Amino acid sequence: MSHTVTITRTTAVSSGTALYINSGYLGSMPGLLKLAQLLMGAACVGIVSYYYDTNYRAVSQRAELFFLLIAVSFLIGTFCLLTSCIISLSSASLISKTVYEVIYHGLAFILYLAAGITFLTEVNQNRRSYYNSYEPYLAAAVMGLILAGLYLLSTFLANRSYRGI
C-alpha cells in the first residue's frame, strides 16, 4: 500500500541550531481541527477554572469537576499531538496511520459529550444557585458540546486515514 506524503518545511536558524517546522500541517484539515480543539479547549478550561468556587454552595460541584477534568486532560493531549505533528517532519504522516488517533479522538468525543451534557443539565437545573457564573458556565457547556462534534469529525478523518481510504 503506497501513500503520498507532502511535507512543507520551514527552517529557522538561531545561533547555529536549525529548527524544522512542518508548517504545511496547519493547512490540512486534521491540523486545523486540532488547532480549533486546542483553542476551544483552552477557552473551556479558562472559563470553568476562573469561575470555579471552592466555597461551600448548595449545588453539587461534581459536574463542574468532571467537565474541568475532561477539558484539561484533552487539552494536554491535543497540545502534545499538535506539537509533535508540527515539530517533527514525519510525525504527522506516521501518527495518522496508526490506530492511536482513532482511539484518542473517539474517546475524546464520548467523554466531551458526556461531560458537556452533564454540565449543561446541571447548570440549567441550578441556574439560580450559580449567580454570576450562569452565563459563562452555559457558554463553557455549549463549547464542550461543540468540541465533542469537532472530536467526532477528527475521529472520522483519523479512521479514514488509518484505513487508507
pLDDT in tens, 50-88: 988 766 554 568 889 999 999 999 999 999 999 998 988
Q: Which residues have a Cβ under 8 Å from the Cβ of 21 and sit 6 or more positions away?
A: 9, 10, 11, 12, 86, 87
Q: What is the model's pTM?
A: 0.83
pLDDT band of residue 125 (cuts 50, 70, 90) is confident
Instruction: Dump strand ranges (E) for 2-77.
Output: 10-14, 17-21
Residues 6+ apart with CB under 8 A from 13: 19
pLDDT attached to residue 56: 52
All three cell numbers of 28, joined, read 490540512
- Position 7 scores a pLDDT of 64
Cα separation of 13 and 4, whole Å?
A: 29
- Indicate whether 109 pLDDT > 70: yes
Please say if the pLDDT value at position 8 is more than 90.
Answer: no
Residue pair 123/130 in contact (Cβ under 8 Å)? The answer is: yes
Q: What is the CA radius of gyration of the chain?
A: 19
- Predicted confidence at residue 88, as pLDDT, reads 82
pLDDT, tens digit (0-9, with 9 covering 90-100), for 87-103 = 887 777 788 888 999 99
d(CA 69, CA 29): 27
